[in-house]
Amino acid sequence: MKTGNRIAHATQKLQRTLSQRIRMASAIAGVPKGHLAVYVGENHKRFVIPISYLSYPLFKDLLDWAEEEFGFNHPMGGLTIPCTEDYFISLTSSLH
């Protein structure tokens, strides 16, 4: 399988996994509809972000990084992003 096809397949698989987890996490953790909780940095600080962020290329890069780091089993039970809190805040601020 070519690299582009593998990336597309992995992205589709991640999106399916995320959509299932978003529904479960939203019901359990009180996350507003249209949002998801992610855990960022060494201390796994929880951020609630709009799901629209998933369509931005910069955020997709973070998802790829998370997949490389954790696969599809995230230690916090939710989506864990392996970057610093400062970087995450800076990136998400630019997406507004």
Asked whether residue 47 is assigned to any structural domain, the reply reads yes
Q: Which domain holds residue 77?
A: 7-94
* Token couple for 91: 């990136």
Nearest Cα neighbor of 22 from 54, 61, 45, 44 is: 54
Task: Give how many domains the chain has, as a whole number.
Answer: 1
d(CA 94, CA 76): 26
Describe the strand order of the beta sheet including 35-40 as a list of residue ranges: 45-50, 35-40, 79-81
Please report, in tens digits, the pLDDT of each residue of the chain (96 residues total).
566 677 777 777 777 776 666 656 555 567 888 998 888 988 989 999 999 999 999 899 888 888 887 776 665 567 888 899 999 999 999 987
Q: What is the pLDDT of residue 6?
A: 76
pTM summary value: 0.64
Asked whether residue 1 is assigned to any structural domain, the reply reads no
Asked whether residue 2 is assigned to any structural domain, the reply reads no
Nearest Cα neighbor of 48 from 13, 69, 70, 78 is: 78
Name, in order, each residue with C-beta under 8 angstroms of 52's C-beta and a sequence gap of 6 or more.
34
